[in-house]
Structure formats: structure tokens, C-alpha cells
Structure 1
Amino acid sequence: MNNSFKLAMDRDLENVNEEFNNFLHRVTEVSSIVKNLASSDTNTQNIGLLEADRVLNTSKQEQMLENIDEKDIILKIKSNRTVLNKKALHKKENQNGDTTDPEVFMEEVSKDAEMRYKDKQIRTEKMQTFKTQATKAFRRGEYEKALCYYNKAIEQIKDSPLLYNNRALTQIKLGRCEKAIDDLKLALRLNENCLRSFLLLAKCYKMLGNCKLYDETIAEAKEKNPGEISFIDNTILEY
């Protein structure tokens, strides 16, 4: 075997090893996605959906399984006297001793992601319907009815700061500041810079006579929204 041929074979072997490592990384990545999708936490599920979409939309050129010629791999690996089981390209043993076919894995992830996407679309449409009804009831001064619709909207979509802010305002109209505060804290957990949440929260503390928390909330609102200080000052004058 001349040197040039040996160098070429070495380069080919390096490429194969790199591709196989990438394949194993992809299987690990898919396992992580499935775990996220199965989580009971909404944010973790959303991360899983985004990761699944990214993996599923990867171009064919980047998909390991579609690029590898198995016969070519066997030839190259044997030339280095390394034994490679072809089944390793299709199965990876997990920590529990089970085996998972990556093609089946990806298909299941695709189906699950599509199902969740469609479910999210349906729930979003229902939420918009309830939100519209709630807004109409609120404008008519029918606050109990508005509250009922906001509750139903939040049952569909639980991670919308807007819905929590609107329900909090409805609770304020009903004189239930403590419940409004709970909603506003949830809204700020979802969006820590939300000016409307801060202002409504300050309003609640003002109505409850808690000057300390009122001042702290206004100060934090200004800190988080330095470009809106004059607006904040004008708004609190109305309280």
C-alpha cells in the first residue's frame, strides 16, 4: 500500500468516525427532546417542541442516516482492522438496556410534535373565543361573566401574561385585590419586565393601603422600564 493511498484511507476513516460520532450525538439529542416533550412543565414542553422542530427541519444533507453508505463504511473500517457492527448505525442501547431505532424515534418525535402543534392551535383558537367574550362582558360592566370567560381562556393557554393581567383587572373591578395580586405575580413570572403588570400590582397595594409594597413596586417598575418613567409617574397620579 503506497503512502498516498494510506493517507487517503486515513482521511476517509477520520470522516467516518466523525460522522458516526455525529450520529450518536443526534440519538442523544432526540432522547433529550422526547424527555422534554413528556415533561409536565409547560415551558419544558415548549423547549422540546422548538428543539423537535429544529431537528425535523434539518436539511437532508445534514441528516446522518441519509448520507452514510453502509457498505462503504464497512470497507473503510475493516481496512483499519476495526470491527463495526452495522446495527450500531440503527440502534443505540440506552441506560436501561433497551434499544431504540433512531428512524422510529424521529418518526415518533415528528408525530408527537405535530400532534402538540395541532393541539396548541386548537387551544389557542378556543382561548381567543373566550377572551373575546370576556372583553365584551368587561366593557358592559359584567365583571363576573368576564371573570368566568377569562378563567376558561386561561384553562386553554396557561402561559399568557396578557390573560393574567386582564383577569387581574377584572378581579380589581370586583374588589378582589388579593386574587388580582396572585395573577399579576404570575404575569410577572412569565414576563418580568411587563409594565402593565407592575402598574396594576401597585394599584392593588395602594387599594389595600400597603404603602411599602406600593413604593417598592413602583421603584421596580421604573428600574425594569427606564424609558417609561414619565409615563409611570403620570399613571400613578391617577390612582
Structure 2
Amino acid sequence: MAFRELEERNEEFNNFMHRVNEVSNIVKKLSSNDHKMQEIGTLEADQYLKCVHETFDEDTVKLTIKNDRTVINKKAFAIVDENTMSQEAFMEEVSRDADQRYKDRKIRQEKADTLKVQGAKAFRRGEFEKAVTLYTKAIDHIKDSPLLYNNRALAYINLGFYDKAVDDATKALELNETSLKAGLLLAKAYFLKNNQAKFQSVIDDVKNKNQDKITFINEYVEELMTKKTENIFY
């Protein structure tokens, strides 16, 4: 846990420092005595804020633009005034904002972890509807966890909701395209939907991405083919 927190803080700091020069240049232009420079600074700030606004995801720590680098929150610009805002004050506001987003993410992660454990317990008791509810609440807190989508997909399979399972397993693969569990769950959902073409296509893809697990995958497929429904993940 401590190592993960350190990594997250280091990543946040490195991304923040990467943006310092860009922010510094904008602030200097906004505070310039040259009106043309002020206009340029205003245009650059507006464009910068547009990038932040268009890519903000309130459920993740990172605010990303096309190059997937962390950028600062729009509220950090709300107090920019060319007559009163110093660069030091501006950077201090940015630092506080980054720290707050980290703390918010940590709180959401802890809540999601608690709900995930409760969902797993409900699943093992055969309470699949309750498991779905708990996993859904966990996803509401953390929307970028492949594990949560995989777990909910498995609960959906046990409820016979194969289309929903396909959606969740597909989402898990979007978040982690090499996830063996997500691939096999997607294949199982298609198999139970009697969509043999999709089933075989997914299995081929899973084998291609997990060539060191071919024996395991073949055993999984054999188990499906013989109508054994024992869950190999729990």
C-alpha cells in the first residue's frame, strides 16, 4: 500500500512539473505590460482550459490531453488576475489542487475496495444479485478497474445476463487488453449465448495474447464444451 501511494505521488509530481513551464509562460504573458502579450496569454489560457475541460473525468485522478499527461484543474485558473495573481501564488494553488485530487482518489479507492470484498463474499454465498449491486457501487467510485468489471461480469453470467456480461468483459479488456480473465469471461458469455463464431474469435485472440497459458486456456475451453459450469476464478 505504501509503495503504491509513493508511486502515485511521484507520478502526480512528475506530471505536474512537466506542465510548470507551460503554465509559467502563460502567467508571464497575462501579467505583461504589453497588451498584445496579454491578449496572447489570454488566448493560450483559454485554449489550455478548453483542453482540461474537454478531458476531465471526475472519477479518476488524472486529467489527460492527447499525449496522456496530467494537467491541472480548471479551478486553478479561476483566480488568475493579471494585476493580482503572482506566479508563486498560482503554483501554490495548483499544488494544493493536485494534492486534493490525490486524496479524493485515495478515499474513493478505499470505498471501492471495501465494496469489492463485500461483493466477493456475496458471490461465494450464491447471492449474485447482491454481488452485482455491490460491484456496481464499487465501480461508481472507481471506473477504471478491470477487476471490478470482471467480477461483475462473472456475477452476470451466473444470473444468465450474458449480454451484460459481454459488456463488462469488453470494458475490462478496453482497460487491460491482455487480461486473461476478461478474455475468458467474454468467451464464456458468447459461448453461453450460443454465438460460436464470437466465442472462437475471442479464444483465438486470448491465446495470441497469452501464449504462455495455452494449456490452461485449452482446459477452460474443454470444460465449457463439456457443459461444466464450475467457476474457475473463485
Please state which band the TM-score falls in when normalised by the shorter chain.
0.5 to 0.7
What residue in structure 2 maps to residue 216 of structure 1?
Answer: 201
Measured against aligned partners, the alpha-carbon deviations of 1:3-45 in whole angstroms (never above 9, x if no partner) come to xxxxxxxxxxxxxxxxxxxx85452599769954884236985
Cα distance between partner residues in 1 of 2:146 and 2:21 = 39
Cα distance between partner residues in 2 of 1:205 and 1:39 = 33
Contact 2:128 2:159 in 1 (8 A): yes
| Secondary structure of the corresponding residue to residue 223 of structure 2 | coil
What residue in structure 2 maps to residue 169 of structure 1?
Answer: 154
| Secondary structure of the corresponding residue to residue 46 of structure 1 | coil
Cα distance between partner residues in 2 of 1:29 and 1:170 = 50
Distance 1:180 1:27, change over 3 A: same
Structure number with the higher helix fraction is 1
Cα distance between partner residues in 1 of 2:26 and 2:188 = 47
Gaps of 5+ in 1: 1-22, 54-93
Measured against aligned partners, the alpha-carbon deviations of 1:72-131 in whole angstroms (never above 9, x if no partner) come to xxxxxxxxxxxxxxxxxxxxxx9xx96363222211211111111111111111111111
Gaps of 5+ in 2: 1-19, 28-44, 225-234
Contact 2:62 2:71 in 1 (8 A): no
Q: 1:25-174 maps to which residues of 2 (within 5 A)?
A: 25=22, 27=24, 36=52, 39-41=55-57, 46=62, 51=70, 99=82, 101-174=86-159
Aligned structure 1 segments of 4 or more residues deviating by more than 6 angstroms: none
What residue in structure 2 maps to residue 226 of structure 1?
Answer: 211
Q: CA deviation at 1:197?
A: 0.6
Q: How many residues align?
A: 176
Cα distance between partner residues in 1 of 2:69 and 2:86 = 22
Cα distance between partner residues in 1 of 2:62 and 2:118 = 27
Q: 1:168-187 maps to which residues of 2 (within 5 A)?
A: 168-187=153-172
Cα distance between partner residues in 2 of 1:237 and 1:137 = 28
Distance 1:24 1:159, change over 3 A: closer
| Secondary structure of the corresponding residue to residue 149 of structure 1 | helix
What residue in structure 2 maps to residue 73 of structure 1?
Answer: none
The residue type paired with residue 24 of structure 2 is: V
Q: Which has the larger radius of gyration?
A: 1
Measured against aligned partners, the alpha-carbon deviations of 1:164-200 in whole angstroms (never above 9, x if no partner) come to 0000000000000000111111111100111111100
| The 10-residue stretch of structure 1 (223-232 or 138-147) with the greater mean CA deviation from structure 2 | 223-232
Contact 2:60 2:105 in 1 (8 A): no
Contact 1:199 1:218 in 2 (8 A): yes
Distance 1:134 1:28, change over 3 A: farther
Distance 1:28 1:136, change over 3 A: farther
Q: CA deviation at 1:210?
A: 0.5
Distance 1:123 1:38, change over 3 A: farther
